[in-house]
Chains A and B, each alone.
Chain A
Amino acid sequence: MYDLIIIGGGPAGLAAAVKAKECGLKKVMICERSTELGGILNQCIHNGFGLTYFKEELTGPEYASRFIDMLKETDVEVRTDTMVLDISPEKEVHMVSPAMGYRVEKAKAVILAMGCRERSRGALSIPGTRPAGVYTAGAAQKYVNIDGYLPGRRVVILGSGDIGLIMARRLTLEGCKVLACVELNEYSSGLNRNIVQCLNDYDIPLLLSHTVTNISGDRRVERVTVSEVDNKTKQPIPGTEQYFDCDTLLLSVGLIPENELSRDAGINLDPRTKGPYVYDNMETSLPGVFACGNVLHVHDLVDFVTQEAQRAAAAAAEYVKKGQPERGEVLDVKTAGGVTYTVPQQICPADLEGDTKVSFRVNRVFGKSRIVVSSGDRELFTQKKPFMMPGEMQNVMLPADILKAAEDSITVEARED
């Protein structure tokens, strides 16, 4: 019997494992389906990680190695090449690996840290032929940075998510011609700094309010058609077609939390985040099963994944030591005024000490604005925000006393001044 089994050895799983040991748990295991720990950080060789958590600028592999080194100081059992197939409500974890075959291990608590995966062409319904040369940006990143291959030479990128922007620069440095980065919305979903240092630095055009409306090519991509879209309907405007002769189309069109295991375990999922519903201690609807990182909701900064994983691991340690906490009154966290979701979705104010972090995103660009948290018709908390955009996750720290003063539910709302 394990105290804790962590599913996934990326940034969330690593931070959770280290924290769980700090909190005094004895038998802890990480299951990782890849051959090495670190998850997606291994292929994110660019810098910019760790500014919040380590107060210095690290590359992805360096950030991962900080936690891998910390983990080496512990007795956490690391099972790589290990795929988890099923989690039962009794927290029996079914796993398979070449080294150990099929195993069922039982745990007092489980942390879900499986991360997310990329939306692919199938999710977009782009018309055209089905040639080789259409990749998700993250797949291309693996080919280039881990395997040392170029996916193509002349590249168009659909979507301006951060991975797409990072790949625009990466492929340019490797000698490819990146013809354009095409974004459906009138704003980029990537971080501003990435638009500056990945597109502007290399004179790569960013076509906002545009999308790919056709892919042509027999065996290999030969050309993509790009059209302007109506900002209201998001439909292509006839007569605005541009043609790009290229051999590669990269898709950077969003990430989806990878929750097949959670769903099969009967854990309630939030259709907005596509991750589990969680309480303020990151516990899912299945007692003793916690979630953190991109499996819970997609983050833009790994530093916040680390913090969330530590919160989940501390709570899992409490659960193992003391059993299921008395929840007392449960507040639903509702959204209004451009806030698309919150994590956590439920808060139990009874035992709270200190501040509770609530993360959320907004659905459009906000100038100078305020975040207002209210319960019924009472405003409990406001915080000014100079600027918000959908690509940047927002956080508010809610003091315990205001949460204790709330009844039934709280509503998180964004109001532009």
Chain B
Amino acid sequence: MKELICIVCPRGCRLTVNENNDYAVTGNSCKRGEVYGKAEVTAPVRVVTSTVRVLQDGRVPSRDRAVRCPVKTSDAIPKGLIFDAVKAIEAASVKPPVRIGDVIIPHICGTQADLVATKNII
């Protein structure tokens, strides 16, 4: 039996996952909690958020313009890949204009998730 706190939403349900009974989840208030509980014990995943450099004509824009573009992985990726993803993000940059959802790194770290922009930058 593993006890977890659900992180799907801010409610923070206290889950119990039974490894000996097909990872049955109890203590959850919704279906998403059950999915989280199972995944957390078998193959934990996280959405990674960070920022990438904004480059205008190959240079950092002047201070009155945005110099960082916030990004996220479009889906949760395996927890073990978080630091690899962060390395890939550090090497990336974007050129304005950027729209929310623009793909910056497709299939980041070989996953099904893309790294996408989370802010419109003109």
Instruction: Name the A residues within 8 Å of B53 (CB-CB).
Output: 148
Q: Are B9 and A193 in contact (CB under 8 A)?
A: yes
Q: Are B7 and A197 in contact (CB under 8 A)?
A: yes
Whether B86 is near chain A, meaning CB under 8 Å from some CB there, is yes
Q: Within residues 180 to 206 of chain A, which ones have a CB less than 8 A from any CB in chain B?
A: 191-193, 195-197, 201
Known A-B contacts A65-B120, A147-B67, A173-B86; A46 and B9 likewise in contact (beta carbons under 8 Å): no
Q: Which residues of A contact B67 (CB under 8 A)?
A: 146-148
Q: What residues of A have a CB within 8 angstroms of the CB of B8 in the complex?
A: 193
Is there contact, CB below 8 Å, between A147 and B68?
yes
Residues of chain A with a CB closer than 8 A to B5's CB: 192-193, 195-196
Check if B51 sits within 8 Å of A193, measured CB to CB.
Answer: no
Selecting from B16-24, B42-50, B104-112, the interface stretch reads: B42-50
* Interface residue tally on B, bucketed by range: 20 to 34
Instruction: Chain B residues near A191: list those with CB within 8 A.
Output: 10, 12
| A59-B72, A65-B120 known; A193+B12 contact, CB < 8 A | yes
With a cutoff of 8 Å between Cβ atoms, the chain A residues found around residue B70 in the complex are 45, 59-61, 145
CB closest chain-B residue, reference A197? B7
How distant is the Cα of A285 from the Cα of B122 in the complex, in angstroms? Answer: 42
Q: Which residues of B contact A145 (CB under 8 A)?
A: 51, 68, 70
Within 8 A of A (CB), among B68-83: 68, 70-72, 79, 82-83
Cα of A277 to Cα of B86 in the assembled complex, Å: 45
Given A146-B68, A147-B67, A148-B68, decide whether A45 and B50 contact each other with a Cβ distance below 8 A.
yes
**Cα–Cα distance between A259 and B18 once the two chains are bound (Å):** 50
Instruction: For the complex, give the distance between the alpha carbons of A145 and B119 in Å.
Output: 12
Interface flag for A416 (CB, 8 Å)? no
Interface residues of B in 46-67 (CB under 8 A from A): 46-51, 53, 64, 66-67
How many chain A residues touch B (CB < 8 A): the figure is 30
Nearest chain B residue, comparing its CB with the CB of A191: B10
Q: Which residues of A contact B68 (CB under 8 A)?
A: 145-148
A392 to B9, CA, bound (A): 13
CB neighbours (8 Å) of B1 from chain A are none
- Mark A67-89 against chain B: 1 for CB-CB distance below 8 A, else 0: 00000000000000000000000
Question: What CA separation (Å) do A35 and B119 show in the bound complex?
Answer: 15
> Would you give the shortest CB distance from A391 to chain B, in whole angstroms?
10
User: A48 contacts which chain B residues (CB < 8 A)?
Assistant: 9-10
Answer whether residue A118 sits at the interface, using C-beta atoms and an 8 A cutoff: no
Please measure, in the bound complex, the distance between the C-alpha atom of A174 and the C-alpha atom of B119, giving whole angstroms: 20
Binary contact readout A128-147 vs B (1 if CB under 8 angstroms, 0 otherwise): 00000000000000001111
B7, B47, B118: which contacts A193 (Cβ < 8 A)? B7
Residues in B neighbouring A51, C-beta threshold 8 A: 9-10
Given A48-B10, A193-B5, A197-B7: A65 in contact with B119 (beta carbons within 8 A): yes
- On whether the beta carbons of B7 and A62 are closer than 8 Å, the reply is no
A262 to B79, CA, bound (A): 46
Residues of A within 8 A of B94 (CB): none
Cα distance A201–B46 in the bound complex, in angstroms: 10
- Nearest A residue to B79 via CB reads A201
Beta-carbon contacts under 8 Å, B1-38 to A: 4-10, 12
Nearest chain B CB to A144's CB is how many angstroms away? Answer: 8
Q: Is B100 engaged at the interface, CB distance under 8 Å to the other chain?
A: yes
Complexed CA–CA distance, A148 and B50 (Å): 11
Given A45-B70, A196-B4, 10 other A-B contacts at CB below 8 A? A47-B49, A51-B10, A59-B118, A65-B100, A146-B68, A147-B67, A147-B68, A148-B51, A173-B83, A301-B10
In the A-B complex, the 4 residue pairs with the smallest Cβ-Cβ separation, listed nearest first, are A192-B12, A193-B7, A45-B70, A61-B119
